[in-house]
Amino acid sequence: MDYLADVGITILIYIILGVSLNLLLGYAGQVSMAHAVFYGIGAYTAGLLSLPILEAAQGAAARGVTSGLGWNWIPALLIAIVFTFGFAFFIAFPAAIKVTGEYLILLTLAFQVVINQLMNSLVNVTGGPYGLTPIPPLSLFGHQLVAPTQAIWIFVVAAAAAFFLSWRVGESPFGRLLKGIREDEIAVRALGKNTRLVKLTVFGLAAAIAGMAGALAAYYYQFIAPGNYTLDLSIFIVAVVVLGGTGNLLGTVLGAVVLGALSPALQNIPWIGTADSIPWQGVIYGLGLALIMRFRPQGILPEGLTPRWFKRAEKLAADAATAGTPPEWSLAAQDPDSVATCASGEEGTQAEEVVRITGLARTFGGLQAVDGVDMALRKGRITALIGPNGAGKTTIFNMITGELKPDTGRVVYRGQDMIGRKPHELARAGIVRSFQDVRVFQRLSVLENVAMAVPDQPGENLLRLTFRPLAARRSEKRTLSQARAYLEFVGMADKADESVTNLSFGEQKLVAIARLLATEGDVLLLDEPTSGIDVNSVNQVIDLIQRLCRFGKTVCIVEHSVHVVGQLADHVYFLDHGAVIEQGTMAALTSRPHLVEVYFGT
């Protein structure tokens, strides 16, 4: 019985490590090859705190570190969790700022190797290769839990807690942000979300859960050594997540059970036995992963393949669908004539100037992409930027929204210079944009795409999500109800629960506009809103943009279609080689011979 309990404890440790890594790898799309060292950091922290003080340690093993502070295991466990979180939060700064993709793999791999080597080298702190011993065992109410059948219940509780916490985070607005970062971080920033803080937080959280597992394992085994926290273990935990299915916590549990039971199962096969189990384990383990990658790369239980009773977000969405639409913020619930009147046809000086751009310039190497552009965007008016490919239109959008820093020039929004502000700060201030290539979140539902954009969601803050769960739940219902209202405004409410991948390109454009509206920004920059869609969808988008004008939104479009610009724009800037060479109404520009010759045609 003790043997089975010991195997069970090993599998429970893999479950804790797997679900924590799945938050990082499956939900956020951040690949870490250093999970084993976070597991080890938690173990060493707890071990050093709990080893007996020097006097009480006399007569213990002569090699390794044998004395510590003599703490009880419960406060030491809590300190280990907090310390591991802070350590990972600090280490993750390069990943949060610049490092992505294969470079993130290399960064975390280097971190894994360096920290593991330090565990071997810092003999006075870690005990070097000889480790820490003898670590006091787990105990409850004065009774030591030495036998596996006694200690396993602590690990059952810890694994359940890790699973519940990971599920709670993954199926929350914070988890929705993680999925958005995984799909398209630039698009998430454009919605006003601080992706750096989110990535730092999830790195810290995943490491903290791994640190908890490390501390508990240290008390159970009563011994720590660097060989327990090698790259092999990090790779094994990645395999657990990939095998079970990224983004699916139930799949991670299944993956941990399958791989965790592999070694003891092989040891009990008579013709293999203990001596040959490790080589056979490597063969089966490698072959299994190769087959999974070839025939089922999404894993045994892929994201989305989860019982409906398990999907907290779906239940909240169902509640929100019947909650009604609050009229205070819903564009769809208001009469546009009572909100604002469209400024179309007014003289430029009669409409409020919301954005003033002066002397905007940007070079790329020797190429002058934007050259001293001056322009104004006015409330309730639709401004268009037109010109040949490479004229600098999208580059101007990138500079207005903070994705690119101009070499010179100013972008003044309601009297404040916006140059130097980050994209999420500009979006929160009210300047938001869409993209020519849509950039919707393909693996999320239509409703989740729009809900991602709603500002000031308590559930996007991990502390508020943890300590004010009821308030976060109420806010999420309002968020989903609000998202449905914006989908209704663009005519997509009936597709709310569908995956975005099932929509036509024109429908995805409408979802992108609904997502833009959900940010509550008052300056909307639309990059080629009608490109690549059919005639019916074009007319639908034109009607939608005109409605936005009537609501007093400040709209600027980049568009190649002369027909669309003629239907929409109150004022047009014609750019060529990065400079504004003409401006005025579309009728005026199409009557100028030199523009007809180089752009409009006959």
CB-neighbour burial class of residue 1 (10 A; exposed 0-12, middle 13-18, buried 19+): exposed
Report percent pLDDT > 90 for the chain.
Answer: 62
List the structure tokens of 260: 């965790």
| CB contact burial 55-73 (16+ within 10 A = b; e otherwise) | eebeeeeeebbbbbebbeb
Of the listed ranges 88-92, 212-216, 596-600, the least confidently predicted one is 596-600
> What DSSP string describes 57-122?
GTTS-SSSB-------HHHHHHHHHHHHHHHHHHHTHHHHHT--HHHHHHHHHHHHHHHHHHHHH-
pLDDT band at 554 (very low <50, low <70, confident <90, very high): very high
Task: With a cut of 70, say whether residue 60 has pLDDT above it.
Answer: no
Are the C-beta atoms of residues 503 and 511 closer than 8 Å to each other?
yes
pLDDT band at 290 (very low <50, low <70, confident <90, very high): confident
pLDDT band at 311 (very low <50, low <70, confident <90, very high): low
Map residue 576 onto helix, strand or coil: strand
pLDDT score, position 317: 61
Confidence (pTM): 0.88
Task: With a cut of 70, say whether residue 346 has pLDDT above it.
Answer: no
> What DSSP string describes 419-464?
TT--HHHHHHHTEEE--TT----TTSBHHHHHHTT-S--GGGSHHH
d(CA 360, CA 362): 7
Report percent pLDDT > 70 for the chain.
Answer: 87
Beta bridge partners of 140: 143
Are the C-beta atoms of residues 457 and 476 closer than 8 Å to each other?
yes
What phi and psi, each to the nearest 5 degrees, are found at residue 214?
-65, -40
pLDDT score, position 53: 82
More confident residue, 464 or 330: 464
Q: What is the pLDDT of residues 473-529, one digit of tens each?
A: 999 999 999 999 999 999 999 999 999 999 999 899 999 999 999 999 999 999 999
| CB contact burial 309-330 (16+ within 10 A = b; e otherwise) | eeebbbebbeebbeeebeeeeb
DSSP state of 330: -
Are the C-beta atoms of residues 528 and 548 closer than 8 Å to each other?
no
pLDDT band at 327 (very low <50, low <70, confident <90, very high): very low
Q: Where are the domains of the chain?
A: 2-229, 324-340+443-520, 341-430+523-602
Nearest to 461 by CA among 96, 121, 177, 207: 177
At how many degrees (to 10) do helices 173-190 and 469-489 cross? 50
More confident residue, 334 or 514: 514
pLDDT score, position 305: 67
List the structure tokens of 8: 């069970």
**Mean per-residue pLDDT, 264-280:** 63
Are the C-beta atoms of residues 475 and 458 closer than 8 Å to each other?
yes
Q: What is the dihedral of CA 22, 27, 29, 31, to 10 degrees?
A: -10
d(CA 371, CA 548): 30
Are the C-beta atoms of residues 555 and 548 closer than 8 Å to each other?
yes
Task: With a cut of 50, say whether residue 345 has pLDDT above it.
Answer: no
List the structure tokens of 558: 């980049």
Are the C-beta atoms of residues 152 and 13 closer than 8 Å to each other?
no
pLDDT score, position 127: 87
Q: Measure Cα distances from 285 to 116, 179, 245, 275 in Å.
A: 24, 29, 16, 17
pLDDT score, position 48: 93
Q: Measure Cα distances from 509 to 164, 185, 424, 435, 544 in Å.
A: 36, 18, 21, 9, 11
pLDDT band at 347 (very low <50, low <70, confident <90, very high): very low
**Mean per-residue pLDDT, 105-112:** 90
What fold is seen in the domain 341-430+523-602? Answer: Rossmann fold (3.40.50)
Of the listed ranges 37-51, 109-123, 256-270, 367-381, the least confidently predicted one is 256-270
| Amino acid symbol at 518 | A
Of the listed ranges 236-250, 290-304, 370-384, the least confidently predicted one is 290-304
d(CA 300, CA 24): 19
Long-range contacts: 303-311, Cβ < 8 Å, 24+?
303/26, 303/245, 303/246, 303/247, 303/248, 303/443, 304/247, 304/248, 304/443, 305/245, 305/248, 305/251, 306/248, 306/250, 310/167, 310/250, 311/171
Residues with Cβ within 8 Å of 220's Cβ and at least 6 positions away in sequence, in order, are: 9, 137, 138, 151, 155
At how many degrees (to 10) do helices 73-91 and 35-50 cross? 140
**Mean per-residue pLDDT, 320-347:** 48
Task: With a cut of 50, say whether residue 158 has pLDDT above it.
Answer: yes
**Mean per-residue pLDDT, 28-33:** 91
d(CA 178, CA 184): 10
Task: With a cut of 70, say whether residue 320 has pLDDT above it.
Answer: no
d(CA 400, CA 410): 9
Are the C-beta atoms of residues 177 and 111 closer than 8 Å to each other?
no
Of the listed ranges 147-151, 208-212, 350-354, 511-515, the least confidently predicted one is 350-354
**Mean per-residue pLDDT, 109-114:** 92
Around Cβ 142, how many Cβ atoms within 10 Å?
5
List the structure tokens of 5: 């309990």
Are the C-beta atoms of residues 41 and 84 closer than 8 Å to each other?
yes
Distance, C-alpha 201 to centroid of its chain: 10
Dihedral sign (CA 507, 509, 513, 518): positive
Of the listed ranges 347-356, 526-535, 574-583, the least confidently predicted one is 347-356
At how many degrees (to 10) do helices 231-244 and 273-295 cross? 50
Q: How many CA atoms lie within 13 A of 300 on its CB side?
A: 18
Task: With a cut of 80, say whether residue 77 has pLDDT above it.
Answer: yes
pLDDT score, position 602: 54
Which DSSP helix (H) or strand (E) runs through 363? strand 353-364
pLDDT averaged over every residue in the chain: 87
**Mean per-residue pLDDT, 393-408:** 95
pLDDT score, position 262: 78
pLDDT band at 332 (very low <50, low <70, confident <90, very high): very low
What phi and psi, each to the nearest 5 degrees, are found at residue 253?
-60, -45
Of the listed ranges 92-101, 305-314, 387-396, the least confidently predicted one is 305-314
d(CA 440, CA 509): 9
Instruction: Measure the CA angle with vertex 107, ends 106 and 112; round to 5°.
Output: 95
d(CA 511, CA 493): 10
Q: What is the pLDDT of residues 180-235, one digit of tens each?
A: 999 999 999 999 999 999 999 999 999 999 999 999 999 999 999 999 999 999 99
List the structure tokens of 22: 């799945």
Bridge-based pairing of strands 579-584 and 571-576 is: antiparallel
